[in-house]
Chain A
Amino acid sequence: MNHIRTIAKRELSAYFATPVAFIFIAIFVALSGAFNFYLGHFFDRNQASLEGFFSYHPWLYLLLVPAVAMRLWAEERKSGTIEQLLTLPITTAEAVLGKFLAAWLFCGIALALTFPMWITVNVLGEPDNAAIAVSYIGSFLMSGAFLAIGICMSALTRNQIVAFIAAAVTCFVFIMSGLDIVLGAFRGWVTPALVDTLASFSFLSRFSSLTRGVVDLRDIIFFASMMAFWLFTAVVVVDVKKAA
């Protein structure tokens, strides 16, 4: 447990060692605001709600979360520090979890800094604050699931760009798997049960039910098991490929 904290601390300070972290946070906050006001027509809707704001989060995460995750293992492999790290008396799982928690906390900081939006909507009207709180938690959970995919892809390669693209594409498939663009490719030749299973993997539909303020335990378990699955896979990948 202490090892995980030590590694997470080091990773988090590595994010802030360069201006990239601040640029990233600024972009996230600015884009999430811009999407809300321009694409989400925040004022025209004339509703005190952040549903429009949250509906763009999956798309923001699609680009930004793989960028946060891509360096986590690819850089260690490229610079050779993976040998230093994994010959310390720690387990691979501790290293993966430490890195994941640092990155997740980083996303959490970016997400928390969108709080002026929450204040704005409260000044303008009387929103359902419980629904907004649930949406924030849902958004945070979703970023964790994206990150776990990103870490796994980062462990597969020493090239950060490859890690970024592989993660973005995988995340895209999971966002879209509830929509016809993905389901249409399967309908007709696989059983309807399989199509339904595929649809149930959709980040978009899971997340949108949370943003309506509906706390369904199944959605939370879905994101949690997504993280568990991809982190476990990342541990296996690091163990198998570390010296390659």
Chain B
Amino acid sequence: MTVMVELDHLSRSFGELRAVDGINLTVNKGEVLGFLGPNGAGKTTTMRMLAGFLKPTSGTARVCGHDILTDGMRAKQMLGYLPEGSPTYDDMTVGAFLRFIAEIRGYTGSERQSRVDLVAQRLALTDVLDRPIELLSKGYRRRVGLAQSILHDPPVLLLDEPTDGLDPNQKHEVRTLIAAMAPEKAIIISTHILEEVEAVCTRAVIIGHGKLLADGTAEQLRANLPGGGSLDDVFRFITTGNAPQAAA
């Protein structure tokens, strides 16, 4: 198995708060890792460090062998990143935005156009290429965000809450797309929707207060809870220490 992403004692503090506290983790090619945790657990902070938006306070991470601290530019080239909430330049049209991303990614001329056409087709955006992003529905915007993240066919994908706020049909589409790309890539999905883990993830980790609390397949995570239960119960047990009886 090829290790694609490696977190090495990755930590980040904001003043007194240790948002991410010494996380060690490896993700292999072909894996879809569900990155779980309550709000404020450090999911987005970890993603942002991997994507090169935030500097770690200590520790580091490697993306396809490129250290994010010493070789950040290469690491960024290996990554496709969907930030939380999928922020895009609202005044641009979908086509102009994707062409801008393609140009930054180093594609020019006809190759640029064919890249844009390909992702537009893949995410069913072909009909809205000439529409300003600000006029699109939330589902479309999220797909524009996804399109920009996979435009350069990166070996590693970081998706921060990719299905948040989508309707069930759109969620299904996004998951189908992720599953289709999975064998070729290492994909990390942050989410607090646990059904997502069972739907697309091959493995999940749970973090709380910046620390890694559990790591394994959905089955293995369930084994954490004495007596078994749903993933929701397991999640609650691991992150709060409350057994389902106590929570109910």
Contact = CB atoms under 8 A, between A and B. Distances in A.
Interface of A: 2-3, 6-7, 10, 13-14, 17-18, 79-81, 83-84, 86-91, 242-243
Interface stretch (B76-84, B161-169, B170-178): B76-84
Nearest to B97: A10
Interface in B24-47: none
B205 interface: no
Given A87-B52, A89-B105, A243-B54, A17 B92 contact: yes
28 contacts: A3-B104, A6-B100, A6-B104, A7-B104, A10-B92, A13-B96, A14-B92, A17-B91, A18-B91, A79-B87, A80-B85, A80-B87, A81-B87, A81-B88, A81-B89, A83-B83, A84-B87, A86-B52, A86-B53, A87-B52, A87-B81, A87-B83, A88-B104, A89-B77, A89-B104, A243-B48, A243-B53, A243-B54
B124 interface: no
The 5 closest A-B pairs by CB, nearest first: A80-B87, A89-B76, A87-B51, A83-B83, A17-B91
Nearest to B132: A17
Interface residues of B, number: 26
Main secondary structure on A side of the interface with B: helix
B111 interface: no
A7 B100 CA distance: 8
Interface string B61-103: 0000000000001001101010101011111100010001101
Contacts of B92: 10, 13-14, 17
A88 B101 contact: yes
Contacts of B90: 79
A99 to B, nearest CB: 13
Contacts of A84: 83, 87-88, 148
A83 B52 contact: no
Nearest to B158: A87
Nearest to A87: B51
A81 B53 CA distance: 12
Nearest to A88: B104
A100 B104 CA distance: 17
A89 B66 CA distance: 13
